């Protein structure tokens, strides 16, 4: 029975993640155990446990006397996420270039070129997913298991903040493709410093998009990253 319960809990967790990241459950939306149980076809107890796990993962928040909601990242939350990304992914691009480009990373060249030629044939969600997978492959290419573990800890909040701007991404597809291709080329050339620099520029550009979304005049001043030897 315990094994079945754990399997059901994992099924509920995965199903709720798909609903949140897919946009079916939007930021700020209230989460009812009964409603969610009916929606995904899993009992209320596994759903309740999955919601607790999602709270720990940063996708769900519990507001006392009000209920459970899909978390709406604040500007401060996004700033913290980008500061973490700036450090982790800048270092990852550097390390991946030092270690040597992998076939998995090189495979993105054709995908990005195809996207650049026909951006209108790809949905905003698919564009977002392609970029997400590219970033994950760079993390994996470092061969650093500790870095991969740390990144996985923050992966869900990263994905949530990415989904917030999907609707605007089609207007800047070419920019995103160019930025990703530049990072890919630097890693392929083994130019670690340039790979790190381009990754940090790419993330700073992403932060600017989020600031526009919040209609804020606050400036982002990324901390200086010491180059790795």
Is the pLDDT confidence value at 165 over 70?
A: no
**CA dist 185 to 25, 64, 88, 91, 133, Å?**
37, 49, 19, 16, 17
pLDDT at residue 1 in the model: 41
> Is the CATH number 1.20.120.530 carried by domain 75-213?
yes
Least confident stretch, 132-141, 161-170, 178-187: 161-170
pLDDT over threshold 80, residue 56: yes
| Mean confidence (pLDDT) of the chain | 83
Question: Binning pLDDT at 50, 70 and 90, where does residue 126 land?
Answer: confident
Over residues 9-36, the mean pLDDT reads 87
Which is more confidently placed, 113 or 227? 113
Least confident of 2-16, 52-66, 68-82, 158-172: 158-172
Residue 45 contacts residue 7 (beta carbons within 8 Å): no
Question: Can you tell me the distance from the alpha carbon of 28 to that of 45, in angstroms, rounded to the nearest whole number?
Answer: 23
- Which of 52-66, 124-138, 166-180, 198-212 bottoms out in mean pLDDT, i.e. has the lowest? 166-180
Pairing of strands 67-70, 60-63: antiparallel
**pLDDT attached to residue 198:** 97
Tell me the pLDDT band of 132, cut-offs 50, 70 and 90.
confident
Residue 73 has pLDDT above 70, yes or no: yes
For residue 120, the model assigns a pLDDT of: 76
User: What pLDDT score does 28 carry?
Assistant: 87
- Could you count the other beta carbons within 10 Å of the beta carbon of residue 194? 18
Cα-based torsion angle of the residue sequence 128, 63, 50, 29 in order, rounded to the nearest 10 degrees: -40
pLDDT of residue 95: 97
What ranges in 100-144 are assigned the alpha helix state H? 103-117, 124-141
Domain boundaries in the chain? Answer: 2-70, 75-213
The confidence band for 184, taking pLDDT boundaries of 50, 70 and 90, is very high
- pLDDT category, 137, cuts 50, 70, 90? very high
Confidence of residue 228 (pLDDT cuts 50, 70, 90): very low
**Domain range 2-70, CATH class:** mainly alpha
């Amino acid at each position: 029975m315990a094994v079945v319960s754990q399997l059901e809990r994992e099924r509920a967790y995965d199903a709720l993640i798909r609903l949140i990241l897919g946009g079916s459950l939007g930021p700020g939306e209230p989460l009812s155990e009964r409603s969610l149980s009916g929606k995904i076809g899993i009992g209320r107890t596994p759903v309740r446990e999955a919601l607790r796990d999602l709270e720990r993962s940063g996708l769900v928040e519990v507001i006392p006397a009000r209920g459970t909601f899909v978390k709406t990242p604040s500007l401060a939350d996004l700033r913290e996420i980008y500061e973490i990304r700036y450090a982790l992914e800048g270092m990852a691009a550097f390390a991946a270039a030092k270690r040597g480009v992998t076939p998995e990373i090189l495979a993105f060249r054709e995908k990005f070129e195809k996207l650049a030629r026909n951006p209108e044939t790809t949905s905003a969600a698919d564009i977002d997913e392609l970029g997400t997978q590219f970033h994950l492959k760079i993390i994996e290419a470092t061969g650093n298991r500790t870095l991969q573990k740390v990144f996985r800890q923050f992966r869900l909040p990263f994905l949530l903040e990415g989904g917030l701007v999907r609707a605007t991404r089609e207007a800047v597809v070419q920019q995103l493709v160019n930025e990703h291709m530049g990072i890919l080329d630097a890693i392929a050339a083994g130019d670690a410093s340039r790979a790190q620099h381009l990754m940090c520029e790419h993330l700073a550009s992403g932060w600017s998009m989020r600031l526009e979304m919040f209609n804020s005049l606050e400036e982002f001043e990324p901390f200086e990253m010491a180059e790795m030897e």
